[in-house]
Structure 1
Amino acid sequence: MKKQINRIIYILGLLLPLTAWSVSAQTVVSGVVTDSKDKDPLPYVTVLFKGTNIITKTDGDGKFSISTSESHTQLQFSFVGYKTKLVDIKAGQSQNIMVKLDPEATSLNEVVISRGKRPSYKNKGNPAVELIRKVIDHKEANRMESYDQVQFKQYEKMIFSMSNLSEKFKNKRLFRKYQFLFEEQDSSKIGGKNILPIFIEEKLSQNYFNKNPEKNKTIILGEKTVDYNSPLIDNKGLSQYFERMYAHINIYDNNISLLSNEFLSPIADASPTFYKFFITDTIKTHSPQLIELSFIPRNNTDILFEGKIYITMDGRYAVQDAFLTVNKNINLNFVRAMEVKLDFDKAPDDRYYLSKTRLLMDFGINKNKGGGFTGERTVTVKDYQINVKQPESVFQGPKVAIVPEADKRSEQYWTENRLDTLTAANLKIYKNIDTLSKMSSFKKTMDLVTLLFAGYKDFGPFEVGPVNTFYSFNSTEGLRLRLGGRTTPALSKRYYFETYAAYGFKDEKWKYFLSATYSLNNKSIYSFPQQYIRGSFQRDTKIPGQELQFVQEDNFLLSFKRGENNMLLYNDFYRLEFMNEFENHFSINVLFKKWNQKPGGSLYFNNIVNGQPNVVDHLNTTELTVGLRYAPNEKFYQGKIYRIPIFDRYPIFNLRYTAGLKGVFAGDYNYHNISGSIDKRFYLSQLGYADITAEGSYIFGKIPFPLMDIHRANQTYAYQLNSYNLMNFLEFVSDHYASVNIDQNFNGFFFNKIPLLKKLKLREIVSFKILYGGIRNENNPVNDPSLLSFPVNSAGVATTYSLGKEPYMEGSVGIGNIFKILRVDMVRRFSYLDHPVVSKYGVRARVKFDF
């Protein structure tokens, strides 16, 4: 048991470092760099230990911190327009110093001496602002998209490591077998201590762009990544997640997407409103002459950059070089430091194109000490050609194409085709992870972590779980125990079987599930793209109106609910399903379902037959459903039970048609249901982002209320994005409806302006949901007593309704980023307040990890 606990601690150290690690004795120097003349702090001064590449830069306030475990006694300070200065330090100690840099005499054209308060910063009459406005005016002419045709070869390298590890942590007994994983951190990275590389990916591609009509094509020539060979780790999902965090950077775009946030570019149209600009140097040795333009945010907690850009003075006003970082007070979670270096080269027509991007980020729970993560993405462009027209065949097919065997390229191929260097230490990552994945101790540890985080215990060809469903309770079933599992690819890559059995001690009924799946593409049914046929039978309960994402209905945490919660359905489902996903993220799903439902708890099916009350024991339905889904550019992380979406700006379209088949397998009803939805995230630059969902449905035919759309309700205390959080289960049903949900996250834009709140880095959230719907006269039991009556409570008061002319509306005002993980909303219900057991207000919470 002790060995198992040690193994769990080990893997948590590998994948989830949520504790601060101790730091060995070392030289730590912090301080402030100022101008010796006017005492102003100097941002972006280069600070390094003399004779090394252990380097950092001062922030926007002139402050810096640098450390090393090596023995060095001098720090070097250098900045354009100032004399380089060496400062003696004490090795092996922590110290704080004040450094004053002297301006170079040749860089002073005039000296202005003033007394009293320094004049406030203004845009009007500011030469730096006039210069940036010229850069903005020339943006379109300097973009790649200004060319008729462009083609280039691109090499991407992504490395992710656990960083800032102390010698004490490295030498723990737990890691005795894994010393080969540790190495000294590359001195060009932020830090300078031991690192543990855990991920590397390389990609080589040929890219084409055509302006009119606008078309893009990327052909992946080669790709290589580490493989943990573990069911817990989705290598492709990790790659997509890192690509989203470290997205492509185009400084000519108004907004730059990083860490799922939108940073306003320093040359965005609105940049003078949010940034302060300063001309800090003129570089006459470069041809053409360059102006060094420094910039800082007006509010240092906003999602903005600070740094320098170098502007050509040849009339093009193009960006020739750029260095971007962020203020230490920025409203970002877990980000210790960020550096972006953009290099531009001349195109054949003497304009500039982005030839190399280097993005480096350092993460940690504690921003000042302890272990963390370092991620580095480098993109190199070569063979840049303009206005070379390509045949139409180049752009045919998907925008991103992968050549056959691209992921099986030899080492010789990579040696000959890499457009950037890969150090010997980086090359070792592939071998180290391959060795690690084959070690029995690592496999056993991953097995335990899979149980802890994915909820399944692996027994080779079969796995048991998910564990969070083993125990739950509700008012109808009472104590509910469940045990289940499923087969794994170790048994077969073609056939999959899944089952569970559950028992309610109050209703004394068994529930169970059996399914068999055949993979049509000889891949795991849990990997993209899915192609399978599945047959299943399920006998279980369901709360009408409860629709959940990413969690199962008998999850233990969902046992806790507000209000009355004593209506459910006992269901028998026979399903035959076909699923086919395509590489372009279009999918088709065909489902044949026979459904028998019986009321349970306080729910009853009653109607009037020949003027007499009648009890209906059950409903039989046979359905055929065809679902179409299109999610262009969708990215996700594939989990054991579900997919975790990686949100982006691209919409998701759903269209579904269901036909009820009377007389087929004892089906009782004929009807047709057409429904659709659109989900999209809108990025609003400094105002954050808005998630908007629009959906609607229309049912043709005469049906009882259990077959109508039972609107999604929530009686838990968790805030659910896609449900109505103050609506009761089975409160509203419709045979036609339309709805819009808006969830606006301002990313702290307003709180950042309030002195007492900005240090807490809280974020404002506003949501609004509106639902229009109703029931046609032919489906209203008031007009036709032969239809099932709406449910009533013990006092005979109706608890289920149709929507009238007034829509159902609710909204919320929330505070996010509490302790970096918690969102709390005050929810307000605006309509239908006269219904029984409803609340006008409610407080709901949601756990959410955001950068």
Structure 2
Amino acid sequence: MLIAGKLEGFGRLSLRVSLLFVCLFLCASWAFGQATVVSGVVTDAETKEPLPFVNVYFKGTSIGAMADADGNYTVHTSNITYTELYYSFLGYKTVVKKILPGATQVINVKLSPEAKELKEVVITPGKGRERYRNKNNPAVDLVREMIARKDQNRMEHYNFAEYEQYEKLQMSLSNMSDKFRQRKLFRKYKWLFDNVDTTTIEGKALLPIYLQETLTDQYYRRDPEKKKSVTKGHQKVSFDDYIDNQGLSTYLNYLYNDIDIYNNNITLLTNQFLSPIADGAPTFYKFYITDTLKSETPPLVELSFAPRNPADFLFQGRLYVTLDSNYAVKKADMTVNKNINLNWVRELSIDQDFEKTEDGRYHVSRSRMRADFGLSKAGGGMFGERVVSYKNFTVNNPRNENFYSGEAETTLTDAEEHTEEFWQTNRHDSLTRAESKVYQNIDSLQKVPSFRRTMDIATLLLAGYKGFGWWELGPVNTFYSFNPVEGFRLRVGGRTTPKFNEQLYFETYGAYGFKDEKWKYFLSATYSFTGKSFLEFPVRTLRASYQHDTKIPGQELQFVQEDNFLLSFKRGVNDKWLYNDIWNIDYVHEFDNHFSYRIGFKNWKQTPAGGLTYQVRNEDSSVSIPNVTTSEFLVELRWAPDEQFYQGKSYRIPIPNKYPIFTGRLIAGVDGLFNSQYSYQNVALNVYKRVYLSQFGYTDVVAEGGYIFGNVPFPLLAIHRANQTYSYQLQSYNLMNFLEFVSDKYVSVNLDHYFNGFIFNKIPLFKRLKWREVATFKLLYGSIRPENDPEKNHQAFIFPVNAEGVTTTYSLQREPYMEASVGIANIFKLIRVDVVKRLSYLDNPGVSKWGLRARFKFDF
């Protein structure tokens, strides 16, 4: 059976890629100095009604916030020298309030209207005197004009477009107190802390620890649609000794996604936000015209907006809109409400500038996204900024047809070999003093023995491996486990690193069971034909392996070792196991368009163990079959449009996107080849799709079907994925027993929906907890043809029975197997707990009708 793979692995993606940053982030989070935090409500002094969008900032700085649609505000800073807070709003007198530096305080403020009339204002926010309405609202009418012209203001409107793009992505430790920096532990790194930047964001002390720069030429053709990217320059801080550099870059770019204000939905930090000019924006946003700028050509309207429900995944801020036939965005300043259900994010802001093209329309010229991460509202944390700028924008300049053929993304051979002189000449923006030193400083840091020891310990704890130069020992969570067949089990293993060989990779382990007193072992070798890592896209590898070990029939895990200690704890009877001897050889070939094929050969000897036996009827008795041996050839085809990966040194986890993934597989068993006892054909098709539903979250859909041709015993049928552990497994049936159902033809659909707090965000208590709702439904139809059914063909293997002689393995009948669950995710920002209900086949022996399952998931 096929496994979508994206779902189980992506929950661990962030934990792996953030290995380095988790360590530094925690260190920064311990560095809590004093902080000033001020919150309150701003109201109209005359009407007593809340005032929306009031600017609140510390005197003499740009540090502040904007009140939400209900007048609520919160500002904070680690700079404890500020003593005054300003409150300003168009049409009202500015108010100055004294504050207590280094304290948390509540200040409610009343603003009085100015006496003079402001002719340049088309309409004010209404001062709260009237209930907000879309009907007869000039601001909403303006938004609808913008929505109607979205297509003509997008780059896709042009037949051809090309431009040069410069991208700078940097991560910094933020707001570390002097006390923290002066600790004995960090005295050896004093030279590193001397590189703190206090100028980029006033009131924040930033210590850059990661920087990457990319310079590319971008090309677009409308019909047939084709995008082409040529990378001319690329450089970044390297942490190759501890984490995959390419994987880190891919994941950070996924978090800090490209922002298109004209898209209905904007993906940021793995979540979707509804654009303020989405087709349905007037349903979710409140809009106000707060100013006009007649000095601009054409004149601009300042359009302020805020969520109707401040806890929804929406923006608040201002758009500056041209008053011409384009109704285009000239500038955008957006933030998110601090009450939104985002993990770790203290602040998030986006600002974009647009400039006019030759034909009078506007394109984005600069886009900047900033995010401040932390465990508390103030104090130490992580600050990230991605700046993308665009130059030499040319439209409707057709190129030769052959220019658009070939790979969509190419990198020039010398892209990573440029000198600093090249970057000084070609950067669209100069680096700050602190940024300019980060490459050299981090390289020096990694040479400090104490830092290397710290990172080795962190690698062991978070990734499970301890490095010894050219090889690594691990994973540690498999060193000890237990099960009914082996009893107490010890295992030790390891793998080579790229320091051994970039193209050749070995992995091995040995294990011993103290109950069955048998050794188990595994050895594999992988060779990459691309000259790069065996997992670096596009892959072309040959892998050979041999395994002699135990296995539970029907337990299929993604990105988790089967002898993980935590999986040793299982419900119910778990005594039907296998001893496997598996020879395997595979060749994988990926293409740049994300189509791939895999061909392989497998010789598999499976010997029943524990309570599992292989038997056939012989008149009034039964005959035991010691083992089953098969030899099979495999052909697998996979297509995953625009797929990206988080790629580590020995694993690769797909990052979900909006495109479906198709996987088809054909397996052919050959009787008589290397002692093979059966001839059969197994075909299967799997389709995975993430369906985004904007403010309602998203649904992961997995549809699968398979058919087995030939006369085979039940061990070679489709043994449906079951789960008797207490962890929630996305691609298994969590209340199905191991080896409970088998089929030779089946179809299944799994739906896993994440509401992202859409319901809980509207309930006061749950809103504070930032919990998120999840719901799943799984359906499986299947059956067995008469020639493979032991009830109708006495030559077929008898289905297993329990200690009382009751059959425990079945064929699905007309009724499908179904189970559903509802749960709460994001508990302590890490845990998901589901209440699972089995909906059919409730009378089978030893089944659970209800269950409570949990899993860990790191997410924003």
Per the TM superposition, whether the score is higher than 0.5 is yes
Which of 248, 256, 259 is residue 238 of structure 1 equivalent to? Answer: 248
Q: Which aligned pairs between 1:731-750 and structure 2 lie closer than 5 A?
A: 731-750=740-759
Most deviating of 246-255 and 393-402? 393-402
The SS at the match of 1:174 is helix
Counterpart check, 1:634 vs 2:643: yes
1:309 aligns with 2:323: no
One-letter code aligned to 1:234: D
Report deviation, 1:267: 0.8
Residue in 1 aligned with 2:449? 440
Name 2:307's counterpart in structure 1: 297
Superposed displacement of residue 678, structure 1: 1.2
Say yes or no: does 1:383 pair with 2:392. yes
* 2:16 alignment partner in structure 1: none
Native 8 Å contact 2:493 2:508 kept in 1: yes
Could you tell which deviates more after superposition, 645-654 or 92-101? Answer: 92-101
In structure 1, what residue type is equivalent to 2:845? P
Q: What's the counterpart of residue 205 of structure 2?
A: 194
Moved more, 791-800 or 431-440: 431-440
Amino acid at match of 1:211: R
Any stretches of 5+ residues in structure 1 without a counterpart?
A: 1-9
The one-letter code matched in structure 1 to 2:440 is K
Equivalent residue, structure 1, for 2:13: none
Separation in structure 2 between the aligned mates of residue 708 and residue 647 of structure 1, nearest angstrom: 31
Asked if the contact 1:625/1:656 (under 8 Å) is kept, the reply is yes
Alignment partner of 1:150 is 2:161: yes
Counterpart contact for 1:311–1:319, Cα < 8 Å: yes
In structure 2, relative to structure 1, the CA distance for the partners of 1:730 and 1:29 (3 Å cut) is closer
Q: Point out where structure 2 has 5 or more consecutive residues left out of the alignment.
A: 1-18
1:706 matched to 2:715: yes
CA distance in 2 between counterparts of 1:216 and 1:114 reads: 42
| Structure 1 Cα separation of the partners of residues 125 and 699 of structure 2 | 48
CA distance in structure 2 between the aligned counterparts of 1:514 and 1:305, rounded to whole angstroms: 52
* Alpha-carbon distance in 2 for matches of 1:93, 1:783: 79
Q: Are residues 1:211 and 2:186 paired?
A: no
Residue 324 and residue 761 in structure 1: after superposition, are their counterparts in 2 closer, same or farther (change >3 A)? same
Shift in Å, 1:68: 5.2
Secondary structure, counterpart of 1:408 in structure 2: coil
2:260 matched residue in structure 1 = 250
**How far apart are the structure 2 equivalents of 1:458 and 1:115?**
64
Paired letter, 1:712: R
Pairwise CA distance, 1:103: 3.9
In the alignment, structure 1 residue 285 sits paired with structure 2 residue 295: yes
Residues 62-104 of structure 1, C-alpha deviation per residue, up to 9 Å, x if partnerless?
A: 5242435374565565555566666666777776656647648
Q: 1:287 to 1:623 in 2, by over 3 A?
A: same
2:613 to 604, 609, 612: 604
Question: Which residue pairs with 2:185 in the alignment?
Answer: 174
Distance 1:150 1:639, change over 3 A: closer
Could you tell me which residue of structure 1 aligns to residue 429 of structure 2? 420
User: 1:730-749 CA deviation, whole Å, 9 max, x = no partner?
Assistant: 01111111111010111121
CA pair 250-488 structure 1, distance change in 2 beyond 3 A: closer
Q: Identify the residue that residue 686 of structure 2 maps to in structure 1.
A: 677
RMSD of aligned alpha carbons: 2.7
In the alignment, which of 789, 799, 802 is matched to residue 793 of structure 1? 802
CA distance in 1, matches of 2:171, 2:637: 37
The alpha-carbon deviation at position 402 of structure 1 amounts to: 1.7
Structure 1 position 241, deviation (Å): 1.2
| Farther off after superposition, 354-363 or 581-590 | 581-590
Question: How far did residue 642 of structure 1 move?
Answer: 3.1
| TM, length-normalised to structure 2 | 0.92
Instruction: Using the TM superposition, name which of 200-209 and 727-736 deviates more.
Output: 200-209
1:35–1:103 CA contact under 8 A, matched in 2? no
Tell me the secondary structure at the aligned position of residue 686 of structure 1. Answer: helix
Work out whether residues 787 and 796 of structure 2, in 8 Å CA contact, stay in contact via their aligned partners in 1: no
Q: Assess if the C-alpha contact under 8 Å between 2:35 and 2:379 holds in 1.
A: no
Q: 1:228 aligns with which of 233, 239, 259?
A: 239
Rate the CA distance shift 1:348–1:64 in 2: closer, same or farther, 3 A. Answer: same
Following the alignment from structure 2 to structure 1, what is the Cα–Cα distance between the partners of residues 92 and 300?
A: 17
Which residue in the other structure is 1:122 paired with?
133
Which residue of structure 2 lines up, in the alignment, with residue 531 of structure 1?
Answer: 540
1:839 equivalenced with 2:848 (yes/no): yes
Q: Which residue of 2 aligns with 1:554?
A: 563
8 A contact 2:637–2:664 mirrored in 1: yes
Distance 1:52 1:118 in 2: 32
**1:513/1:537 contact within 8 Å kept:** yes
Structure 1 residues 658, 276: CA separation in 2 closer, same or farther (over 3 Å shift)?
A: same
Aligned partners of 2:544 and 2:303: how far apart in 1?
Answer: 65
Equivalent residue, structure 2, for 1:184? 196
The 8 Å contact of residues 121 and 292 in structure 2, kept in 1 or not, is answered as: no
CA distance in structure 1 between the aligned counterparts of 2:122 and 2:613, rounded to whole angstroms: 89
| Letter aligned with residue 545 of structure 1 | G
* Contact kept in structure 1, 2:124 and 2:290, CA below 8 Å: no
More deviation, 619-628/757-766 = 757-766
Distance between the aligned counterparts of 1:35 and 1:188, measured in 2? 34
- For 1:519-598, list aligned pairs within 5 A: 519-598=528-607
Counterpart of 1:161 in structure 2 is 172
User: Does 764-773 or 714-723 show the bigger shift?
Assistant: 764-773
Alpha-carbon displacement from aligned partner over 1:147-179 (angstroms, at most 9, x marks no partner): 222111111111111212111112221111222
**Aligned AA for 1:786?**
Q
Structure 1 residues 534 and 163, CA, compared in 2 at 3 Å: closer, same or farther?
A: same
Task: Work out the CA distance in 1 between the residues paired with 2:791 and 2:563.
Answer: 35
Q: Which residue of 1 aligns with 2:12?
A: none
Work out which of the residue numbers 321, 326, 339 in structure 2 matches 1:329: 339
Shift in alpha-carbon separation, 1:315–1:62, aligned structure 2, 3 A: farther
Aligned length: 839
Matching residue of 1:393: 402
Assess if the C-alpha contact under 8 Å between 2:445 and 2:451 holds in 1: yes
Deviation at 1:587, TM superposition (A): 2.9
TM-score of the superposition, structure 1-length normalised?
0.93
Output the amino acid matched with 2:323.
Answer: M
Change (3 A) 1:529 1:101: farther
User: Residues 13 and 757 from structure 1, CA distance in 2 versus in 1: closer, same or farther, beyond 3 angstroms?
Assistant: closer
Match of residue 821, structure 2, among 802, 812, 831 = 812
Match of 2:77 among 64, 67, 73: 67
Same amino acid, percent of matched pairs: 53
Q: Is the 8 A contact 2:175 2:380 kept in 1?
A: yes
Which secondary structure state, in structure 1, belongs to the residue aligned with residue 413 of structure 2?
coil
Change (3 A) 1:158 1:115: closer
Q: Is this contact kept in 1: 2:125–2:289, CA < 8 A?
A: no
- Provide the C-alpha distance between the structure 1 equivalents of 2:850 and 2:101, rounded to a whole number of angstroms: 61
Aligned-partner Cα distance in 2 for 1:93–1:563: 55
Bigger mean CA deviation after superposition, 708-717 or 621-630 = 621-630
Pick the aligned partner of 1:133 from 130, 134, 144. 144
In structure 2, how many angstroms separate the alpha carbons of the residues matched to 1:513 and 1:688? 42
Query: Residue deviations 1:583-618, cap 9 Å, x none?
Result: 443333222111111100000000024775211001
User: How far apart are residue 278 of structure 1 and its match?
Assistant: 1.1
1:397-443, CA deviations, whole angstroms, 9 ceiling, x for partnerless residues?
12222222212222122111112222221111111111112223322
Alpha-carbon distance between aligned partners in 1 of 2:115 and 2:277, rounded to the nearest angstrom: 29
Counterpart Cα distance in 2 of 1:417 and 1:114: 45
Matched residue SS, 1:665? helix
For 1:850, give the aligned amino acid. D
Pairing partner for 1:358 from 350, 368, 376: 368
Amino acid at match of 2:533: S
Give, as a single letter, the amino acid of the residue that structure 2 aligns with 1:151: E
Which residue type is aligned with residue 216 of structure 1?
K
Q: Specify whether residues 237 and 206 from structure 1 end up closer, same or farther in structure 2 by C-alpha distance, changes over 3 A only.
A: same
State how far apart, in whole Å, the 2-side matches of 1:618 and 1:448 are.
44
Amino acid at match of 2:390: V
Change (3 A) 1:280 1:188: farther
- Bigger CA drift: 736-745 or 506-515? 506-515
Aligned to 1:6: none
Structure 2 Cα separation of the partners of residues 642 and 834 of structure 1: 41
Indicate how the Cα distance of structure 1 residues 780 and 636 shifts in structure 2: closer, same or farther if over 3 A, else same: same
Indicate the SS of the match to 1:534: strand
